Structure 1
Amino acid sequence: MRQLIPDTSPQRVMAASDLVNSFGGGLYLTAGVLYFTQAAHLPTAQVGFGLGAAGVVALFAGIGCGRLADRYGGRDIYVVTLVIRAAATAGFLLAHSFWIFLITVCLANSGQAAGLAARSLLIRGHGGESPQRFRAYLRSVTNLGMSFGALLAGWIVTVGTHSAYTLLVVANVIAFAGSAAFMFFLPASEPVPVPHGRSAGWVALRDVPYILMTVLEGIMSIQYKVLTVAIPLWLFAFTTAPHWLTAGTVIVNTVIIILFQVRASRNVDTPAAGGAAYRRAGTAFLLSCSLISLTAGLAPWTAAALLMTAVVVHTIGELWHCAGGFEVSFALAPEYATGQYLGLFGLGSSLADAVGPGLLIALCINGGRQGWYVVGSLFLLTGLAVPLTIGWAQRHAVPARSPTALPVVDQPQ
């Protein structure tokens, strides 16, 4: 049990905050769309447009908030983003018109994107000698919290009453507020001084190799939509496997991540190791996509067994992908601009959220079996391109890229 608890008090505080926060995230991701359509009674087309618009707005929140965190300290900026998310989520209770819905969901999504950038600064500051390892631990904690949130969301959807959906929103607000409250037990951090001769401006936007790395991360992050978008649609349209397997694939994926993300990140502690992890991930994604394509037309339980095998292989690739991303995103970012760089890196996931579902539907569902081979090949080529990009980034490294922690200001609590 001692190995399951972080070593330092700040790490334990961040883990507790993330656990509560991700519980709210699990609620929203599982049943948020249903709240807007079933409880707020908004047309599906308006909900889809609003969520898409919120995703676009959030693209610009991360890097801007990351720069603020670099200049004024990560803890307080992160708390502000959590408060914004709590307030915006509370506004969902009033979202019975399209414009109120649009404003609140844009604020909530922007707060989430901004918070991830500020949180990255805290992970580097309090992660000890291996912030990448600590980030892997927090991902396991996040998946655990989201699992609990998804269970409550499943009950809410089953009940289906207006009161139950109201509970979803209220519980989400409490989760974000509770997460913010935990953060006040974390020592405040001072910004890292800008090295002499360096600019404190938008340095990340001038780092071309890191921008390319962000694009590659965005392409690889489309893999997250395979389990949540492509597999459910494929299972219903092309296989005879039991429909409940859509939930089974997510459960298997989540359990493996909770148990093995830290272990998968253990030896990924250099940029070269991060590039190798991306390469292995691309290979695993190609194999899993190929296995999924073979499930069409098989007997029900044969298709189910092959599909679950593909999910296990895909999740192994996801473990490597995340381990590589944790290492590379930190290792190639200068300390004095950590928030700004990690905010830029987060754009990759946001872009995957925006284009991933449509791309997978077009290739894998509309394109049939051949589309899976195209998607798998795209992942493989991306994984092969990452080590080359890392080498380019190291040859053109921004000065002050070092693993030392952020200075901390001890404040009485």
Structure 2
Amino acid sequence: MSSTGTLSPDDRQEDTAPDRRPWPVRRGLLPEPGPRRGLALGGFVNQLGTVAFLATAPLYALKVVGLTIGQVGLALGIAGVVGLLAGPPVGHLADRRGPRGVFLVTLLVQTVSVLSLLFAHSFVAFTVSMAVTDLAGASGGAARGPMIRRFGGDEVPRFRSYLRATAFLASTFGALAAGAVIQLDSGAAYRALVVADALTFVGCAAVVLRLPALEPLPAPTGTDRWLALRDGPYVAFVVLDGVLWIQGEVITYALPLWVVLHTHAPRWFVGVALAVNTVMVVLLQVRTSRGTEGGRAAGRATRRAGLAFLVGMAVIATAPALPGPAAAAAVAVGVAVHTAGSLWHAAGSLELRFRLAPAHAQGQYSGVFGIGTGLCYTVAPGLLGLLCLGWGAPGWLVMGGVFVAAGLAVPLVVRWAGRSRELGG
């Protein structure tokens, strides 16, 4: 294997060794019993608590800790930056020590750090608790990456798509739980949710403990310790893919404000639009992943996604000029087209995330990938607020054009990466 990540046939065989059995298409969406289903169940439990907690963390800081709005924003910003920095080094540790053990440690740390919020009564204490929680969360994502790659075997795109669908479903239930707590709006309710979130980390750890341990794959002699950060094609992919992941915030952040503030569609229709997005992802993500195996196929899927984002956002941009029912219909059509793009993008992105990384450094590469997605979620609200909400319809078209440009560039990066590694397909 070269220092840039070329996989030999032996490397590819060893990488898929934990589970070579084919995906049972006849059994529908569920992966077969075993490590894949266990990892999915653990991820569902983890995501359920995380979404509920993150949705209420700012209110917890305001209502229970007694911070000001400015202090809450600063604390969460500091915690986010700390979390972004953790991925690559912890991912490297998972590569060298084994991913399951490192992942379990991050779950234990998250359990303790979340519970420590019950005793946080100052800005510093709240910031430290949230920073450690974010640090452990980002570290857990980097450690989980090699497990997904190796348990997924030759079915990584489909398996990862299933994980995304289950995460979407867990996010929906987590959001409902957060809504109930916000409606109660009491210190006891917020504290109970903190304890519940800590218990989901314990539940996830109990599931992960039942998974088989994965021995570290040996790194070639002379391999760069920080290979991922020096891998030009992969870093370029992470940047472009981070831009494309802003598409998720279009639906969850920009669209609700657009419908309420700029259109004649009924306010309750925001919930319908979000439901359309969720149902499509849960039901269609696994099916959409078919045919994206290999670098070139994944690049083409990403290119289609960029074009779909532009079409969907152009349709949504027409809503302010239409009467109520027509505006609602335009939003529904636009969301459906945009979600189709998100299905293609997720399938291509998650294939390339693992396909471009060498087998022995999946954790380190997952950490770098996490930096890209983390930065996207940090930049997205300001960028979408400036373009889509501040500029109006032209801004929606400009943002769609950015997605098209990024989608068209990804196949070029895949071609560049193919000069130094085997991309399959």
Q: State the aligned residue count.
A: 400
Selected match of 2:183 from 154, 158, 164? 158
Give the whole-Å Cα distance in 1 for the aligned partners of 2:192 and 2:383.
34
- Of residues 287, 302, 308, the one that matches 2:326 is 302
Q: Deviations over 1:142-198 (max 9, x none)?
A: 112222222222111111122111121111111111101111101111100112x44
Cα distance, 1:280 vs. partner?
0.7
2:76 corresponds to which residue?
51
The alignment partner of 2:153 has SS state of coil
Contact 2:29 2:286 in 1 (8 A): no
Aligned position for 2:277: 253
Cα distance in 1 for partners of 2:386, 2:204 equals 39
- Deviation for aligned residue 1:402: 8.1
- 1:361 matched to 2:385? The reply is yes
Q: How has the CA–CA distance of structure 1 residues 35 and 245 changed in structure 2, closer, same or farther, with 3 Å as cutoff?
A: farther
Q: CA deviation at 1:111?
A: 1.4
Amino acid at match of 1:46: Q
The one-letter amino acid paired with 1:26 is V
1:10 to 25, 35, 45: 35
AA aligned to 1:211 is V
Distance in 2 (alpha carbons) for counterparts of 1:247 and 1:99: 37
1:253-276, Cα deviation, whole Å (9 max, x unpaired): 111111111001011101011101
Q: Secondary structure at the match of 1:360?
A: helix
Aligned partner of 1:190 in structure 2 is 215
Give the counterpart letter for 1:177 in structure 2. V
1:170 aligned partner: 195
Task: Choose the corresponding residue for 1:36, options 55, 58, 61.
Answer: 61
**Aligned counterpart, 2:125:** 100
Structure 2: tracts of 5 or more residues without a match: 1-25
Please list, as runs of the form range in 1=range in 2, the aligned pairs for 1:311-322 lying within 5 A after superposition.
Answer: 311-322=335-346
Counterpart contact for 1:194–1:200, Cα < 8 Å: no
> Corresponding residue for 1:349?
373
Q: Which amino acid is the alignment partner of residue 395 of structure 1?
A: R
Q: What's the CA shift for 1:68?
A: 0.5
Query: Counterpart of 1:164 in 2: which secondary structure?
Result: helix
Rounded Cα–Cα distance in structure 1 between residues aligned with 2:165 and 2:316: 26
Separation (CA, whole Å) in 2 of partners of 1:247 and 1:81 = 34
Matched residues in 2 for 1:142 and 1:270: separation? 24
1:388 to 412, 415, 420: 412
Cα RMSD (Å): 1.7
Deviation of 1:249 (Å)? 2.4
Q: Does 1:75 align with 2:116?
A: no
- Residue type of the alignment partner of 1:284: A
| Residue pair 1:335, 1:402 contacting (<8 A) in 2 also | no
Decide whether aligned partners of structure 1 residues 184 and 332 sit closer, same or farther in structure 2, where only a CA change above 3 A counts.
same
Deviation at 1:42, TM superposition (A): 1.8
Counterpart CA distance in 2 for 1:222 and 1:402 is 28
Q: Which one is further off, 222-231 or 87-96?
A: 87-96
| 1:114 alignment partner AA | S
Q: Deviations over 1:225-278 (max 9, x none)?
A: 111221122122211222223333222211111111100101110101110111
Residue 359 (structure 2) aligns with:
335
Distance in 1 (CA, whole Å) between partners of 2:154 and 2:137 is 27
Residue deviations 1:283-336 (CA, integer Å, cap 9, x gap): 011011111211114212221111121111111111111000111111110001
1:61 aligned partner: 86
- Deviation at residue 77 of structure 1 after TM alignment: 0.6
1:235 is the counterpart of 2:264: no
Q: CA offset at residue 214 of structure 1?
A: 0.6
Letter in 2 for 1:349: T
Bigger mean CA deviation after superposition, 375-384 or 60-69: 60-69
Equivalent residue, structure 1, for 2:167: 142
Q: Deviations over 1:31-77 (max 9, x none)?
A: 23222223333211111111122121111111111101000001011
Aligned to 2:18: none
2:292 corresponds to 1:268: yes
TM-score by length of 2: 0.91
Contact 1:95 1:101 in 2 (8 A): yes
Cα distance in 1 between the residues matched to 2:334 and 2:239: 26
Q: Give SS of 1:171's match.
A: helix
Are the aligned partners of 1:238 and 1:297 in contact in 2 as well (CA < 8 Å)? no
* Matched residue, 1:120: 145
- Seen in structure 2, the aligned counterparts of structure 1 residues 131 and 8 have a Cα distance that, compared at 3 Å, is farther
Contact 1:215 1:348 in 2 (8 A): yes
- The match for 2:8 is none
The CA distance in 2 between the partners of 1:283 and 1:379, in whole Å, is: 7
Verify the 8 A CA contact 2:294 2:424 in the aligned structure 1.
Answer: no
Q: Give 3-state SS (helix, strand or coil) of 2:418's partner.
A: helix
The answer to whether the 8 Å contact 1:140/1:261 transfers is yes
Task: Output the amino acid matched with 2:369.
Answer: F
Letter aligned with residue 112 of structure 1: G
Give the secondary structure class of the aligned counterpart of 1:296.
helix
Q: Which amino acid letter does the alignment assign opposite residue 184 of structure 1? A: L
Report if aligned partners of 1:229, 1:357 keep a CA contact under 8 Å in 2: yes
Q: Secondary structure at the match of 1:142?
A: helix
Cα distance in 1 for residues equivalent to 2:404 and 2:424: 30
Distance, in Å, in 1 between the alignment partners of 2:222 and 2:181 is 53
Tell me the SS of whatever aligns to 1:192.
Answer: coil
**Which AA in structure 1 matches 2:170?**
G
Paired amino acid for 2:231? D
CA contact (8 A) 1:204 1:340 kept: yes
**After alignment, is 174-183 or 7-16 more displaced?**
7-16
